Structure 1
């Protein structure tokens, strides 16, 4: 039996919503907290920001430029999904009220290690700077500020939506 059965689910996750389902379930198992009704937006933002949570709201914004670069830099779907998992877990914790980076980063590492193992890429991503693991990201330049172009991801956090018939 696999000691970390969620590794297979992460490897097979087909979209952001499937990865986010893993985020929510692992966070709830680890710290007994849950939140529903979040929206994911992809936007070109300054490249020193991987993502951010709009405090007081329900929106997570991920850096589209970094996301597209990671699609090229990662060698497997599991590695790319691990990147998405790490970013979404970090921002999900912010949405739960954890505002201090000094608390959030170790918590993402703890959750990743508990559910994927200490040697899994999710654990590595949670405990190192992204640019140290993927130095080619430094070549992306500064990114864009005040960009009004964005993409709302359909069917994100759909497990939190009730069915209306």
Structure 2
């Protein structure tokens, strides 16, 4: 496996740390990458975890969902695995993967090759497939937003 993605995922302490693991895993498995994404936290309807609006440089995550997940009694591994799979799904969309089934299949491939089929993230993607609903991002009202600092810091340069 090369880099120990399992250990990196378990050590991750922030959304930025988790996203770096996502990006490294995608680059290792699929050979593609993208820099310059922002993570914006917004109170969205309960069934919406996160969305990526095509053509934008932002992943929009449901602040309520994130707070509930972080405040749950789940272990750090379970929380990080869930957030990994969620960020992976939206990162694949930001790379231009539009078909929901293709996003699912690529997610499973990345997780299988980077973390293994026995990892909680793999099980989560398999289980969520039956429940997932495609959400059209332009139908969402964003309201009060919060941009997560230091989310995607790869390839950023000083702009003066």
What secondary structure sits across from 1:81 in the alignment?
Answer: helix
Distance 2:75 2:130 in 1: 18
Distance 2:66 2:54 in 1: 22
Residues 1:151 and 2:150 are matched in the alignment: no
| 2:5/2:25 contact within 8 Å kept | no
Query: For residues 129-159 of structure 1, what are the alpha-carbon distances to aligned partners after superposition, in whole Å with 9 as ceiling and x for unaligned?
Result: 2897xxxxxxxxxxxx624112100011012
Give the Å deviation of 1:10: 0.6
* Residue 89 in structure 1 maps to residue 88 in structure 2: yes
- Distance (Å, rounded) in 1 between the aligned partners of 2:92 and 2:83: 14
Comparing 69-78 and 18-27, the one that deviates more: 69-78
3-state DSSP class of the match of 2:154? helix
Give the TM-score, by structure 2 length.
0.86
Q: How does 1:73-152 map to 2 (within 5 A)?
A: 73-129=72-128, 146-152=141-147
Q: Displacement of 1:110 after TM fit?
A: 1.1
Offset, 1:107: 0.9
TM-score when normalising by structure 1: 0.84
Give the aligned length: 152
Supply the distance in 2 between the matched residues of 1:125 and 1:117 (Cα, whole angstroms).
13
Counterpart in the other structure of 2:14: 15
Contact 2:16–2:152 (8 Å) recurs in 1: yes
Partner Cα separation in structure 1 for residue 10 and residue 97 of structure 2:
28
- RMSD of aligned alpha carbons: 2.2
1:162 aligns with 2:157: yes
The equivalent of 1:70 in structure 2 is 69
- The whole-number CA distance in structure 2 between the counterparts of 1:39 and 1:29 is 22
Cα 1:149/1:160, change in 2 over 3 Å = same
Q: Which runs of 4+ in 1 moved over 4 A?
A: none
Q: Deviations over 1:20-74 (max 9, x none)?
A: 1111110011111110100001111112211100111101001111111111335
Unpaired runs of 5+ residues, structure 1, are 133-144
The gaps in structure 2 that reach 5 residues or longer are: 132-139
Q: Which has the higher helix share?
A: 1
